[in-house]
Amino acid sequence: MPFATQHVLQPYWDLAVAPVQADGLAAALELGIFEVLATPHTPAQLADTLALHAPHTTLLLELLWSMQVLERDTATAEADTQRYRCTAATLQYFCRNSVAFCGDAWLYRLHALRHFATQLSTLVREGGKAAPYSTANGVNWAVAAQQQIGQEQRAVTMRAALSVMQRVAPFADANTPLRLLDLGGGPGWVAIALAQAHAGLHGCVFDWPETVAVAAANIAHAQLTDRLETVGGDLDGDDIGNGYDLIWCSSVLHFVPDMAAALRKIHAALKPGGVFVCVQAEIAPAAVDAARVLPYYLPMRMLGRTVTRQGELAQLLRDTGWRQVEQYGASDFPMAPVQVLIART
Ligand SMILES: C[S@@+](CC[C@H](N)C(=O)[O-])C[C@H]1O[C@@H](n2cnc3c(N)ncnc32)[C@H](O)[C@@H]1O
């Protein structure tokens, strides 16, 4: 039953308690609870299977049930006689044997954001750079590609990218020959998904040399080495090739020191009439929408990375010679809502 009134402090109490829920989920992931609860178990059975403290296991499962991470039998009333099992989403994303498992990525986000947040008052008082974000280089991006970005691409980004591409004219016909560049493609799963969906597509993943080594292994695993290659380099200073029909670039331009220069370079790399698809978060004008973006990007912004205001990237595209710039919002990409920009040379 919805409550008729809410105290003005309720949102702040909710903020204070959110870490308890986050740690409940973290504990369940770390203890391997979800793999066991792929089939229904009482708390006592689960505690027995994993050698856990039975009364506290009961309390944790009830918390996870209240968070809709678990379901339980409704027939019996007592929490300790209930049988708990994973919801469909928990099975898909938080069970290690699922192809879409991204529990490690979620734990990484939790720990990195929390670690950053503990440094916030010092950063505001004294400036400086927060760990662990201060050392972004090819080696660190390669680790990210192997771990959290790899899991998030497989679980979330691949599907979201395909749904964007259904709107892009030359991609919709699967047999049209297309040369693709996945710029800053990390582990390469987006290029792999696009190649699997479009028989006529071939192309390459560009990223730091250490990072494209991860993409190369994934491309080999997907048996696509005859259609996809990798090029290692620095987007800021190195050649990204040319003659592309399509350039996909998601959550990469935040990291380049001169966005306008990068957009000119991308323009020059496309064939005449080529399409640029750029997906990244922007800051919306209304507080309630901005709140879905700003906390995720505060660590990066405090490192001097750029997150544009909504509409700014579209304007920059027009200012750097792009035509037919379309933009829409999407919230099926990892973490925060993004803007999808589709532009032509
Ligand atoms: C946040 S990740 C996004 C990865 C992928 N596009 C996605 O959406 O999942 C940013 C990527 O940009 C790459 N990157 C950042 N700066 C770069 C640069 N100067 N040269 C090459 N790659 C760069 C990183 O290595 C990383 O793979």
3-class SS of residue 235: coil
Domain containing 41 — which CATH number?
1.10.10.10
Q: Are residues 30 and 65 in the same domain?
A: yes
Which residues 6+ apart lie within 8 Å of 144 measured at CB? 186
Q: How confident is the model at residue 174 (pLDDT cuts 50, 70, 90)?
A: confident
Answer whether residue 216 is part of any domain.
Answer: yes
The answer to whether position 51 is within a domain reads yes
At 172, the pLDDT band (50, 70, 90 cuts) reads: confident
Span from the CA of 300 to the centroid of ligand 1 (angstroms): 13
Instruction: Give the model confidence (pLDDT) of 194-240 as tens digits.
Output: 999 999 999 999 999 999 999 999 999 999 999 999 999 999 999 99
Which residues lie below 8 Å from residue 121, measured CB to CB, with a gap of 6+? none
Q: Are residues 166 and 191 in the same domain?
A: yes
Confidence of residue 75 (pLDDT cuts 50, 70, 90): low
pLDDT bin (cut points 50, 70, 90) of residue 135 is low
Output the pLDDT for position 173.
80
Which atom in ligand 1 lies closest to the alpha carbon of residue 248? 6
Q: Does position 70 have pLDDT exceeding 60, yes or no?
A: yes
Residues 33 and 145 in one domain: no
| pLDDT exceeds 90 at position 1 | no
What residue type is 259 in one-letter code? M
* Mean pLDDT (whole number) for 249-259: 96
Q: What is the tens place of the pLDDT at every residue in 257-306?
A: 999 999 999 999 999 999 999 999 999 999 999 999 999 999 999 999 99
Ramachandran angles phi, psi of 275, nearest 5°: -115, 135
Above pLDDT 90, what percent of the chain?
89
Burial 300-333 (b: 16+ CB within 10 A, else e): bebeebbbbebeebbebbeebebeebebeeeeeb
Q: At what angle do helices 294-302 and 103-118 cross, to 10 degrees?
A: 60
Which residue's CA is the nearest one to ligand 1's atom 11? 184
**Are 132 and 77 found together in one domain?**
no
Give the mean pLDDT of 177-204: 97
Residue nearest to ligand 1 atom 7, measured at CA: 250
Q: Is the same domain home to 53 and 130? A: no
Confidence (pLDDT) at 171? 79
Number of the ligand 1 atom closest to the C-alpha atom of 236: 19
Domain endpoint, select from 50, 77, 101:
101
Position 175 pLDDT exceeds 90: no
User: Residue 136: its pLDDT value, please?
Assistant: 63
User: Interhelix angle for 54-66 vs 10-31, to 10°?
Assistant: 130
* Residue 65 CB less than 6 A away from ligand 1: no
Is residue 157 in some structural domain?
A: yes
The answer for residues whose C-beta is within 8 angstroms of residue 102's C-beta and 6 or more apart is: 93, 94, 148, 151, 152, 154, 155, 156
Q: Which atom of ligand 1 is nearest to the CA of 138?
A: 25
Task: Determine the Cα–Cα distance for residues 95 and 88; give it in Å rounded to an integer.
Answer: 10
Residue 63: inside a domain: yes
Same domain, 32 and 143: no
pLDDT over 70 at 79, yes or no: no
Side-chain-side CA neighbours of residue 223 (13 Å): 0
Are residues 158 and 130 both part of a single domain?
yes
245 Cβ below 6 A of ligand 1: no
Q: Is residue 106 part of a domain?
A: no
Average pLDDT over residues 144-169: 95
Across residues 318-345, what is the average pLDDT? Answer: 96
Mutate to test the pocket of ligand 1, among 255, 277, 280, 332 (most ligand atoms within 8 A of CB): 255
Q: Are 71 and 84 in contact (CB under 8 A)?
A: yes
Q: Where in the sequence is the domain holding 276, given as residue range(s)?
A: 116-344
Final residue in a domain of this structure, among 78, 101, 124: 101
State residue 78's pLDDT score.
Answer: 66
Domain assignment of residue 335, yes or no: yes
149 lines ligand 1 (CB under 6 A): yes
* Cα 66 to averaged position of ligand 1 atoms, centre (Å): 37
Assess whether 215 and 303 both reside in one domain.
yes
Mean pLDDT value across residues 51-64: 97
> Percentage of the chain surpassing pLDDT 70?
96
Neighbours of 39 (CB within 10 A): 10
Q: Which residues pair with 72 in a beta bridge?
A: 84
Query: Which of 334, 304, 344, 339 lies closest to 187 in space, CA to CA?
Result: 334
**Same domain, yes or no, for 179 and 316?**
yes
Do residues 259 and 166 touch, judged by C-beta distance below 8 A?
no
In a domain, 110, yes or no: no
Same domain, 188 and 150: yes
Q: Domain with 231 in it: what CATH number? A: 3.40.50.150
The residue length of the chain stands at: 345
Say how many Å lie between the CA of residue 220 and the centre of ligand 1.
Answer: 20
The residue from 101, 136, 162 where one domain ends is: 101
Q: Give the strand pairing for 338-344 and 323-330.
A: antiparallel
**CA–CA gap between residue 250 and residue 338 (Å, rounded):** 9
Q: What is the mean pLDDT of residues 146-154?
A: 96
**Crossing angle of helices 43-50/54-66, nearest 10°?**
120
> Which pLDDT score, from 0 to 100, does residue 170 have?
78
Question: Are residues 123 and 89 part of one domain?
Answer: no
Within a domain: 108: no
Report residue 183 CA to chain centroid gap: 16
Residue nearest to atom 1 of ligand 1 (CA): 251
One domain for residues 183 and 262: yes
The count of domains in the chain is: 2
Residue 177 preceded by cis peptide, ω within 30: no
Average pLDDT over residues 98-117: 96
Q: In sequence order, what DSSP letters do the residues of 137-158 get, joined into one string?
A: SHHHHHHHHHTHHHHHIIIIIH
Residue 160: per-residue pLDDT: 98
